[in-house]
Amino acid sequence: MHQIKTLLLFSQALFSKQNYMLQFNRKNYSNELLIDLYKTILKPRMIEEKMLILLRQGKVSKWFSGIGQEAISVGCVKALHNDEYILPLHRNLGVFTGRNIPFNKLFSQWQGKPNGFTKGRERSFHFGTNEYHIIGMISQLGAMLGVADGIALANKLQNEKKVTVVFSGDGGASEGDFHEAINTAAVWQLPVIFLIENNGYGLSTPSNEQFKFKSFVDKGVGYGLEAYRIDGNNILEVYDTIKGLAESIRNNPRPVLLECITFRMRGHEEASGVKYVPQELFEIWGKKDPVVNYERYLLEQQVLTYDMINEFRAAIKTEIDLGVEEVLEEPDVIANTETELADIYQTIHLPASVSYGNMQHVITPPATNKTSKKRLVDAISDGLRQSMEKHDNLVLMGQDIAEYGGVFKITQGFLEQFGKGRVRNTPLCESAILGAGYGLSIKKMKAMVEMQFADFVSVGFNQIVNNLAKSFYRWGQQADVVVRMPTGAGMGAGPFHSQSNEAWFFHVPGLKIVYPSTPSDAKGLLTAAINDPNPVLYFEHKNLYRNVELEEDVFDDYYMLEIGPARIAKAGNDVSIITYGAGVHWALKHCAEKNIDADIIDLRTLLPWDKNAVEASVKKTGKAIVLHEDTLTGGVGAEIAAHIAQHCFQYLDAPVIRTASLDSPVPFNLDLEQNFLPKERFKTDLDNLVNF
């Protein structure tokens, strides 16, 4: 009862009983504009009505209705320039039709047909199209807010006078991404409008159970930005407000929060129904129908006639009917495994790799043979700096990376050389910054996002596994983002600064994972990662950064190594050691001390990993041990061991052995940490395997 009373008070406070019907102000807008707005709001309503019929007939499988909220989508899309990006949600059909996407193309998408935007791989509005400057949502609602930041940042860096609009529901605004994206936009003064459709519900949860503030306008003060509240059912108010804001933001870039009050006249989606909504709300909001009220107003103003209405309706109905007929007759997608796997990564056409000096799999040799001694940290810094010189569209983002040079000083001096626009200190908003990297990529820029420690990536996990990783497969959009991940234990840093978390991402199609163990590899693989249009997680072992024992001659000039092939760190015949990162050096040291004739395979790339190199080694030696610093259960070694068992069984002379860290968090005490790490257990396991 309290819930119903609260919701009724909410609606009645906004609109008095004497003023249920909308009050329009045309200002100086022409009849042509008013009619264009009418046709644009009528079309999504008629499509919706058709979809509900098809849903009842079983010809469509699911539908998220925006009936009652059309004025927001249409007012927004008509107020912006056609080349300004909009990031809508489920119920924003008017954004898509307002950008004149043909109905049959949309219906093909909804039906999972080949002529849709995603080859049948996505549903409804879960797609993007750069042709129409629309980036659709993913189901994790707040994820696109940070992406809008990235698009707006690109606009600002490229000196384009453009504004980006990103939609959020009142329920979705409870997510952490909402806070992170708005905070980042405010700090960076990005030209973006955060449009909140406040329809009173997050699925069935009413607003009073989502938040306790009275209005989203109240949030603007806390973030240091402007905030406005308007009637979201009044198309002229929406259009005029966004048009004015957009014109202002183009000339004075800044973020704005815009709350649009509206109501959802159908359920969250049709299967959910509306029994959880008090009937009185439908009576109140039914009188504020955005299409009916606007039509009535135009008739009263003699801008519109019934003959015109019939003409517009007939034309829209014809387009819808023909589109439905055409799409229902289209062939279905034919599953092809080769095609599906080929679309996981964007194809890169590379020259054949060669050996060059002491390096294997070089695809871009250095211009000269000049070298100098470099530690791992020096090589990474060198490769990053030269990549910034080579790619003027590359932006670096991370906590403390500018004036301070990063906690490991890898970007020291970069601010002075490249400027604050391209070397950007970030708020502690990992998710928003990773999303911004994706937004930059949509605008054909490159992004490097530094996690201060690899452990902190958990805060941005969703952006990596659901936005970056799936982007190319879902709708052909590259995610040109490198995430640098300082990783690993051995420094007494405890459980939140020492984790090896590469296995968290090893399971995710669409990502590439690079993990070098030497300075030469570190530089060449980082430059390659930045050139790669696919998302790359680049792991750097902190305990190897300044280890002078690993210092080696590294080419001073820019070069690239091929991502994917493993490196033969040591050739041998008695046993195969498959490892990466610090494990390479543990293996080399023990084999030298015990004079073990081992074939040591340094994977370097974990996803995709070099199956051919591993198979060739195991077939040669007949014995295999997989070593990694990550914990044992579910680690990368489990997949490699399983592959060896399946594909090399007939060549094996002993069981495949896995050696890894204990299945526990990383302890702080140095003695406990050394016990946690697998170095000593590896020596025993390897000796036993050699003697098997």
pLDDT of 2 > 50? The answer is no
Tell me the pairing of strands 192-198 and 201-202: unpaired
Mean pLDDT over each residue of the chain, to the nearest integer? 94
At what angle are helices 31-56 and 235-251 packed, to 10 degrees? 110
211-235 burial code (b ≥16 CB/10 A, e <16): beeeebbebbeebebbbbbbbbbbb
- Digit-coded pLDDT (tens) for 18-49: 455 799 999 999 999 999 999 999 999 999 99
Is there a contact between 260 and 169 (Cβ–Cβ < 8 Å)? Answer: no
Residue 64 — very low, low, confident or very high, per pLDDT cuts 50/70/90?
confident
Query: Which domains are seen in the chain, by residue range?
Result: 2-15+31-327 (3.40.50.970), 360-561 (3.40.50.970), 567-690 (3.40.50.920)
Residue 17 — very low, low, confident or very high, per pLDDT cuts 50/70/90?
very low
Q: Report, as an integer, the average pLDDT of 405-412.
A: 97
* CA dist., res. 274 & res. 268, Å (int): 8
Residue 489: both structure tokens together: 């234990």
- Digit-coded pLDDT (tens) for 172-225: 888 999 999 999 999 999 999 999 999 888 778 888 888 888 899 999 999 999
* CA dist., res. 13 & res. 330, Å (int): 50
- Digit-coded pLDDT (tens) for 444-461: 999 999 999 999 999 999
Q: What is the pLDDT of residue 3?
A: 46
Tell me the pairing of strands 394-398 and 423-425: parallel
Active-site choice (126, 179, 268, 497): 497
pLDDT of 4 > 70? The answer is no
What is the strand order of the sheet 394-398 is part of? 423-425, 394-398, 446-450, 481-487, 536-541, 512-514, 605-607
Q: Report, as an integer, the average pLDDT of 524-535.
A: 98
Q: What is the pLDDT of residue 205?
A: 83
Helix, coil or strand: residue 582: helix
DSSP 58: T
- Digit-coded pLDDT (tens) for 495-520: 999 999 999 999 999 999 999 999 99
- Digit-coded pLDDT (tens) for 319-358: 999 999 999 999 999 999 999 999 999 998 889 999 998 8
Q: What is the pLDDT of residue 534?
A: 98
Report the C-alpha dihedral over residues 562, 563, 566, 567, rounded to 10 degrees.
50
Percent of the chain with pLDDT over 70: 97
Q: Report, as an integer, the average pLDDT of 61-65.
A: 85
Q: Report, as an integer, the average pLDDT of 6-19.
A: 48
- Digit-coded pLDDT (tens) for 590-637: 999 999 999 999 999 999 999 999 999 999 999 999 999 999 999 999
Q: What is the pLDDT of residue 207?
A: 83
State yes or no: is 497 an active-site residue: yes
pLDDT of 65 > 70? The answer is yes
Phi, psi (degrees; rounded to nearest 5) at 3: -60, -45
Residue 157: both structure tokens together: 């860096």
Helix, coil or strand: residue 545: coil
pLDDT of 256 > 70? The answer is yes
